[in-house]
Amino acid sequence: MNIGERLQESWDYLTGPGLWLSIGEGVLRIILIIVLALIIVRVTRNLVDRLFKKREKGPIRITERREATLKKLIKNVVAYVVYFVAILMILDNVLGFKVGPLLAGAGVAGLAIGFGAQNLVRDIISGFFIIFEDQFSVGDYVGVAGIEGTVEEIGLRTTKVLSWTGELHVLPNGNVTQVINYSIHNGLSIVDVNIPYESNVNDAENAINNIVATLPDKYDFIVGVPEIIGVQNLDVSHFTIRIIADTLPGFQWAGERNIRKEIQNQLYNAGIEIPAPRIVMYSGNDKEKLLDKNRERGE
């Protein structure tokens, strides 16, 4: 068979219906597999939502924050598994790859890669411990790896933390070695108020008591009436009264800001001024008199 006949045969094959029918059939199978995978993922996510919704009426109770974390994790794991199976089906049933030997080789290669990818393995293991030990959950305000913010997502390998200034930090779970969780227990607002020595301690405490008694009604995140601890410090030009207040988890800073604002307004209306630095000045004659007095005392 000469070159011309081979070219003609190749042209007939490329323009013939058999090739395009097989390509069309393969593309159709791929589309069907992808659509089926998307449907399975969508249905599974709806089932997970319904399952957790029915659990609210059941005997097993978990916190809302942990529920949000588990729901997101289960949905992600299901999506990974379904898409992985879909890829295997496309490779085996459509493209004609032998998946069995490929998986066997992947197992051996995975073992070798595991020794080289120790950080990846550490991240995944740390992710399991974070989730199942309930160290923190989606929506918690935490301090982790030198970053403070709200947990947006917890995955098996990374955790996403949104800081209050808007930056989204993606942290490998292996770097989560110490966690400060502000969202589990009630917070404590600590406010120090400086009062000048010209004012009476009892008058200042009475004015403060009058305003703190109304704060729980004004602010939902303040739990109970704030308490005056007493005089915390004696400074050069003022003494310090400390107030503490229980708040909802994560609201201790908001509690401090609002308590300061309300107390400042009340003290101003009561005629108690904020202390200011004082400078004592002497004239030249006064200075000589003071020096003479000191000499006389020294004698």
- How do residues 23-72 score in pLDDT, each as one tens digit? 777 778 888 888 888 888 888 888 887 777 765 555 555 566 667 777 77
What fold, for 190-269? Alpha-Beta Plaits (3.30.70)
Q: Where are the domains of the chain?
A: 3-116, 134-181, 190-269
- Mean pLDDT, residues 242-252 taken together: 91
Classify 228 as helix, strand or coil: strand
Q: What is the pLDDT of residues 80-126, one digit of tens each?
A: 788 888 887 877 776 666 666 656 655 555 555 555 567 777 887 88
Higher pLDDT, 150 or 198: 150
Correct CATH for 134-181 of 2.30.30.60, 2.60.40.10, 2.40.10.170, 3.40.50.1370: 2.30.30.60
For residue 157, is pLDDT > 60? yes
Which helix (H) or strand (E) is 257 found in, with range? helix 252-269
Q: What is the pLDDT of residues 175-232, one digit of tens each?
A: 888 888 888 888 999 999 998 888 888 888 888 998 899 999 999 999 989 999 989 8
Query: How many distinct helices (H) and strands (E) make up the chain?
Result: 9, 8
pLDDT of residue 79: 83
pTM: 0.56
- Mean pLDDT, residues 291-298 taken together: 61
- CA of 134: how far to CAs of 62, 181, 184, in Å? 11, 11, 11
Cα separation, 270 vs 258, in Å, equals: 18
- The answer to whether 247 and 254 are in contact (CB under 8 A) is yes
Cα separation, 206 vs 243, in Å, equals: 13
For residue 276, is pLDDT > 60? yes
- Class of CATH domain 3-116: mainly alpha
